[in-house]
């Protein structure tokens, strides 16, 4: 089963993805964006949140959900350091001595870490072993029709230090002024999850784990997604720039084989997704769609999807 989500969320004055600091200026990630204005195409630079940043957050939630279900997570991933068995030093913590056979290396990693099972890894030694991530995530970008209104704007902040005359030395400063560039936009992003890839070898396509273990890991993968969206715990600088806003729309599809929702950056994405899905139905493939269209909150939609998967015993 293949799950695909389109998410729209409003975020005002957020600093979810900062890219560099130049002196006392922290810069928000920005990307070039093609928009149409008066029948002409033009490029504008808009605030964005990288897929890498969203993927990191998802895997942090996956650690938590996996541990709460008593599933294995390796020491590096537990710390939120997703090295992913990249070399001998990291792999040796899971399997020692390291086998020569790539299939046995993959098996050892998948068995000992849910994050590397779901999020993939690249062991870059001899022999190299690569496992693609079972989940995919796009950048979060402003919705096209509102892109020209999306802004990033520096906010001035100051830190003060208490000093008496005796402690003043040379050019020690009593206050520090700094700028944080904040973004404001209606964002959209896509998240896909290939449930069939979890617990299954990327080399042989054979299951590595028992059915029950695979089921538990799929559940953890779905719950992490639920938690990430429901808690808005993704991106950086949440402690002082927690975005003001929230999820405005959500569309989820479940298909037997890979199918990706129309990107939520387009205003007609729900309708387009529905029409594309109807074509798929014509191929005798079972399809499922849930949206926030009828006034449902995102959590209700996600719960509906999890229940649907449980009913069909596809989890």
Q: Which residues bind Zn ion (CB under 5 A)?
A: 74, 77, 113, 115-116
Q: Quick one: 15 or 113, whose CB is closer to Zn ion? A: 113
Residue closer to Zn ion by CB (options 77, 185) is 77
User: What is the CA 250 to chain-centroid distance, rounded?
Assistant: 15
Please, what is the minimum distance in Å from the beta carbon of residue 54 to Zn ion?
19
Closest distance to Zn ion from the beta carbon of 113 (Å):
3
CB of 116 to Zn ion, least distance (A): 5
Q: What is the DSSP string of the chain?
A: -EEEEEEEEEEEEE-S-EEEEETTEEEEPEEEEEEEETTEEEEEEEE-B-HHHHHHHHHHHHHHHHHHTT----HHHHTT----S-SHHHHTTTSSSPPSSHHHHHHHHHHH-HHHHHH-EEE-SSSPEEE--SEEE--BEE-GGGGGG-EEEEEEEEEE----GGG--TT--SEEEEEEEEEEEEEEEEEEEEGGGTTB-TTT-SB-S-HHHHHHHHHHHHHHHHHHHHHT--SS-HHHHPPEEEEEEEEEEEESS---PPPTTSTTHHHHHHHHHHHHHTTT--EEEEESTTS--HHHHHHHHHHHHHHTT--
What is the smallest separation between the CB atom of 81 and Zn ion, expressed in angstroms?
A: 9
Asked if residue 115 lies in contact with residue 78, where contact means CB atoms within 8 angstroms, the answer is no
CB nearer to Zn ion: pick between 131 and 274: 131
CB of 171 to Zn ion, least distance (A): 47
Considering the complex, state which of residue 102 and residue 154 has its C-beta at the smaller distance from Zn ion. Answer: 102
In whole angstroms, how close is the CB of 107 to Zn ion at the nearest point? 14
Smallest gap from Cβ 224 to Zn ion, in A, equals: 14
Nearer to Zn ion, 214 or 261 (CB): 214
User: Between 10 and 116, whose beta carbon lies closer to Zn ion?
Assistant: 116
Residue nearer to Zn ion on the CB measure, 59 or 182? 59
> Which residues, in sequence order, are CB contacts of 212 under 8 Å at separation 6+?
none
């Amino acid at each position: 089963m293949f799950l695909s989500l389109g998410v729209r969320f409003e975020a005002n004055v957020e600093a979810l993805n900062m890219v560099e600091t130049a002196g006392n200026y922290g810069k928000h990630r920005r990307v070039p964006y093609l928009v149409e204005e008066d029948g002409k195409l033009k490029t504008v630079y808009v605030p964005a949140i990288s897929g890498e940043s969203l993927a990191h957050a998802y895997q942090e939630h996956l650690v938590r959900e996996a541990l709460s279900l008593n599933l294995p997570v390796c020491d590096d991933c537990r710390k939120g350091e997703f090295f992913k068995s990249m070399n001998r030093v990291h792999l040796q913590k899971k399997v020692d001595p390291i086998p020569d056979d790539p299939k046995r290396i993959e098996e050892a990693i998948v068995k000992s870490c849910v994050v590397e099972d779901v999020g993939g890894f690249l062991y870059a030694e001899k022999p190299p072993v690569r496992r693609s991530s079972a989940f995919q995530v796009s950048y979060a970008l402003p919705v096209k029709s509102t892109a020209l209104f999306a802004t990033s704007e520096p906010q001035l902040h100051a830190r003060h230090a208490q000093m008496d005359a005796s402690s003043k030395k040379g050019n020690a400063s009593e206050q520090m002024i700094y700028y944080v560039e904040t973004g404001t936009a209606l964002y959209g992003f896509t998240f896909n999850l290939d449930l069939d890839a979890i617990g299954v070898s990327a080399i042989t396509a054979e299951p590595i784990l028992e059915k029950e273990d695979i089921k538990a890991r799929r559940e953890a993968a779905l719950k992490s997604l639920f938690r990430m969206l429901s808690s808005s715990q993704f991106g950086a600088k949440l402690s002082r720039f927690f975005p003001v806003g929230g999820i405005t729309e959500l569309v989820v599809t479940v298909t037997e084989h890979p199918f990706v929702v129309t990107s939520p950056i387009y205003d007609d994405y729900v309708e387009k997704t529905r029409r594309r899905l109807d074509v798929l139905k014509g191929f005798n493939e079972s399809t499922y769609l849930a949206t926030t269209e009828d006034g449902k909150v995102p959590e209700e939609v996600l719960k509906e999807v999890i229940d649907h998967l449980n009913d069909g015993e596809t989890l």
